[in-house]
């Protein structure tokens, strides 16, 4: 059934403005012929000495790091392995609160003592800004026990932090820096994109090849320049990553690396397409796809313009825009949240794809009238933390409707997915700000996920 459904999708005319970055270019049949795992003559991912070692050396070369680990369980396994390798149980860490769930899961597994950094919202856009070096410095100077800082750069929306300054500050205070760069695998391949985290001094970073490059879903790389850390990463990957790595995925990494070796022209064309798109989208009257407004904002260090953030500015919800693009124009976007939607682009997009999106947005824009739809959801202030995540999870819980839970302590993660950034973390107090944020997301038809139940039921500490 699933296979047939996928074939129908593959043979249809829906254009993908979503992951994976290869944009479904290529064969749609399942590659049984090359689907093996570690048999004689094909090396061993956990102890590479032959073709996989060569593949990882090529990756390190291309991505500008000393060591690169090929991953077949997504950036998720890279985040788990890196945070485990860079901490001992109970260590104090500083985590940007707009991190992906994988970071929270790592902190939970390692029983870390977490402090959060809450990036501000970008004025008028309702999306998280860069993590400011000053906020990292403040946190580290106030708490010398912090041994690891974890930030996400770029964010899902393409917002970049000043990794170079943040890395220098971390090192001055004796802390290490791990950057979740899952959405920035394409950065090294055009100077129209920001510098990559590993070349800016991060101790380790993870990049999802599958998100923005021509590689299959679940492929990623874990990067470091430190020999000592590379040993820890190798050991931890053998804990968290499958012992039967898919050679189909590894071959896809290999093909992606071969493409990257000769990709200058393709990236020039891609970035020109992006520039032309932003310029043409400037004529939209109600919807907007801002570039200058984001990049010139003082809370933004830099922006990956490959992420097309489409703002509805009160005309409709992001979900309604995403639905209209799918139903009427056969364009599938990556996600919608509150009053905005996100189209993810890659070097594999075509002129035809960009033209279709532009024409569709112009038509929808011409039908828009000012209306009373919700503006982009504002982020809440950081909820009050009553318990560490692992402590909260070990307590007894009771189920309650979220409407009756004000003032109670959550025993689970509550998030809209995508983007997978939790609004509530186990151990945090459910306050009025979170409740109104959740109602705004529900009003914009976003799906709210919890771990143990069907929202609006939520597990609280009983
Ligand atoms: C910021 C961020 N980090 C990590 C991940 C996990 O990456 P993967 O899907 O490659 O496991 C995601 C997934 O969307 C993400 O958005």
CA of 224 to the centre of ligand 1 (A): 18
Task: Check which CATH number belongs to the domain holding 342 and give it.
Answer: 3.90.1150.150
The CATH number linked to 96 is: 3.40.640.10
Cα–Cα distance list, 442 to 100, 374, 429, 439, 450 (Å): 20, 11, 20, 5, 14
More confident residue, 230 or 423: 230
Of 234, 261, 288, which residue is a domain's last?
261
Distance 76 CA to ligand 1 centre (A): 6
3-state DSSP assignment of residue 365: helix
Please give the tally of structural domains in the chain: 3
Distances (CA, A) of 50 to 47, 59, 415: 9, 14, 42
75, 78, 159, 421: which to mutate for ligand 1, most atoms within 8 A of CB? 75
pLDDT at 445: 80
Instruction: Considering only residues 117 and 338, tell me which one the structure prediction assigns the higher pLDDT.
Output: 117
Q: How far is the CA of 156 from the centre of ligand 1 (A)?
A: 9
d(CA 393, CA 111): 11
Residue 20, ligand 1, Cβ within 6 A? no
What pLDDT digit, counting tens, does each position of 392-419 carry?
999 999 999 999 999 999 999 998 877 7
Q: Report the 10 Å Cβ neighbour count for 329.
A: 17
Which of 240-254, 313-327, 368-382, 424-438 bottoms out in mean pLDDT, i.e. has the lowest? 368-382
* Cβ of residue 208 lying under 6 Å from some atom of ligand 1: yes
Please indicate, yes or no, if residue 377 is contained in any of the structural domains: no
Compute the distance from residue 99 Cα to the ligand 1 centre, in Å: 9
- What residues contact residue 181 under an 8 Å CB cut-off, 6+ apart? 152, 153, 154, 187, 196, 197, 198, 202, 205, 206, 207
Residue 143 belongs to domain spanning: 32-261
Q: Is the CB of 102 under 6 A from ligand 1?
A: yes
Task: Verify that 299 and 255 share a domain, yes or no.
Answer: no
The answer to whether residues 70 and 90 touch, using CB atoms and an 8 Å cutoff, is no
Does 308 lie in the same domain as 233?
Answer: no
The reported pLDDT for the residue numbered 375 is 54
CA gap 152, 56 in Å, rounded? 24
H or E element: which one contains 279? helix 264-281
- Give pLDDT tens digits for 40-96: 999 999 999 999 999 999 999 999 999 999 999 999 999 999 999 999 999 999 999
Average pLDDT on 105-113 reads: 96
Do 148 and 289 sit in the same domain of this protein?
A: no
| CA–CA dist 84, 286 (Å, integer) | 46
Domain presence at residue 62:
yes
Least confident residue range of 144-158, 211-225, 394-408: 394-408
Phi/psi class of residue 134: alpha, beta or left (left: φ > 0; alpha: ψ in -120 to 50)? alpha
CA-to-CA distance for 180 and 300, rounded, in angstroms? 17
Do 212 and 312 fall into the same domain? no
Burial of 107: CB neighbours in 10 Å, binned 0-12, 13-18, 19+: buried
Query: What pLDDT does residue 376 have?
Result: 46
Across 241-270, average pLDDT: 97
* 20 within some domain: no
SS3 content of the chain, % helix, strand, coil (to 5): 40, 20, 40
Query: E-assigned strands of 41-106?
Result: 67-71, 92-96
Nearest atom in ligand 1 to 79's CA: 4
Same domain, 182 and 223: yes
Are 290 and 272 members of one domain?
yes
Of residues 68 and 456, the one with the higher pLDDT is 68
Contact 298, 190 (CB under 8 A): no
User: Given a cut of 80, is residue 169 above it in pLDDT?
Assistant: yes
Among 211, 241, 344, the mutation site with the greatest number of ligand 1 atoms within 8 A of its Cβ is: 211
Residues 256 and 288 in one domain: no
Query: CATH number for the domain including 401?
Result: 3.90.105.10
Higher pLDDT, 375 or 16: 16
Report the first-to-last Cα separation within the chain, whole angstroms.
42
Higher pLDDT, 372 or 28: 28
Q: Are residues 355 and 433 in the same domain?
A: no
Residue 29 pLDDT more than 90? no
- Full DSSP string of 311-360: E-TTSS-HHHHHHHHHHHH-EEESEEETTEEEEE--TT--HHHHHHHHHH
223 with 294, same domain? Answer: no
Question: Looking at the domain assignment, is residue 14 inside a domain?
Answer: no
CA of 462 to the centre of ligand 1 (A): 32
Is residue 21 domain-resident? no
**Which of 209, 233, 261 is the C-terminal boundary of a domain?**
261
Whether residue 281 lies inside any domain: the answer is yes
Same domain, 314 and 196: no
- What pTM, to 2 d.p., does this model score? 0.95
180 CA closest ligand 1 atom index: 3
Does residue 238 sit in the same domain as residue 270? Answer: no
- 422 in ligand 1 pocket by Cβ < 6 Å? no
In a domain, 104, yes or no: yes
Query: What secondary structure letter does DSSP report for 410?
Result: B
Residue 74 Cβ < 6 Å to ligand 1: yes
Strands 204-208 and 176-180: parallel
Task: Using the mean position of ligand 1's atoms as its centre, give its distance from the Cα of residue 100 in Å.
Answer: 7
Same domain, 279 and 352: yes
**What's the rounded Cα separation, in Å, for the pair 146 and 135?**
14
Domain's final residue, options 261, 295, 316 = 261
16: in domain: no
**Is 364 strand, coil or helix?**
helix
Ligand 1 centre from 230 Cα, in Å?
Answer: 21
């Amino acid at each position: 059934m699933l296979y047939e459904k996928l074939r129908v999708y593959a043979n249809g005319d829906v254009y993908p403005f979503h992951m994976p970055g290869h944009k479904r270019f290529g064969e749609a049949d399942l590659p049984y012929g090359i689907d093996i795992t570690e048999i004689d003559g094909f090396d061993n991912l956990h102890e590479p000495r032959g073709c996989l070692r060569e593949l990882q050396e090529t990756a390190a070369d291309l991505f500008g790091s000393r060591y690169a680990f090929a991953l077949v369980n997504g950036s998720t396994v890279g985040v788990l392995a890196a945070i485990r390798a860079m901490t001992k149980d109970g260590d104090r860490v500083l985590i940007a609160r707009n991190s992906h769930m994988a970071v929270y899961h790592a902190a939970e597994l390692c029983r870390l003592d977490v402090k959060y950094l809450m990036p501000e919202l970008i004025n008028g856009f309702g999306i998280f800004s860069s993590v400011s070096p000053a906020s990292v410095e403040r946190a580290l100077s106030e708490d010398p026990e912090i041994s690891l800082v974890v930030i996400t750069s770029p964010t899902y929306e393409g917002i970049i932090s000043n990794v170079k300054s943040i890395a220098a500050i971390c090192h001055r205070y004796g802390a290490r820096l791990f950057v979740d760069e899952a959405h920035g695998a394409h950065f090294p391949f055009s100077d129209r994109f920001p510098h990559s985290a590993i070349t800016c001094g991060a101790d380790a970073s993870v990049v999802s090849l599958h998100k923005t490059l021509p590689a299959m879903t679940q492929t990623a790389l874990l990067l470091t320049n430190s020999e000592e850390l590379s040993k820890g990463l190798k050991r931890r990957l053998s804990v968290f990553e499958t012992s039967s790595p898919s050679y189909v995925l590894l071959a896809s990494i290999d093909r992606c690396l071969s493409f990257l070796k000769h990709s200058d022209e393709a990236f020039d064309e891609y970035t020109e397409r992006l520039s032309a798109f932003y310029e043409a989208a400037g004529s939209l009257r109600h919807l907007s796809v801002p570039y200058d407004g984001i990049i010139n904002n003082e809370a933004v260090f830099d922006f990956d313009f490959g992420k097309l953030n489409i703002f509805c500015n009160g005309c409709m919800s992001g979900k309604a825009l995403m639905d209209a693009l799918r139903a009427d124009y056969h364009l599938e976007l990556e996600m919608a949240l509150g009053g905005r939607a996100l189209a993810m682009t890659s070097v594999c997009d075509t002129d035809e794809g960009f033209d279709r999106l532009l024409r569709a947005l112009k038509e929808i824009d011409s039908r828009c009238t000012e209306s009373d739809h919700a503006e982009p959801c504002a982020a809440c202030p950081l909820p009050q933390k009553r318990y560490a995540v692992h402590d909260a999870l070990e307590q007894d819980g009771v189920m309650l409707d979220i409407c009756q839970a004000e003032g109670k302590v959550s025993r689970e993660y509550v998030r809209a997915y995508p983007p997978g950034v939790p609004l509530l973390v186990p151990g945090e107090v459910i306050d009025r700000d979170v409740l109104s944020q959740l109602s705004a997301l529900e009003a914009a038809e976003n799906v709210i996920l919890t771990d143990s139940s069907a929202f609006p039921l939520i597990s609280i500490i009983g």
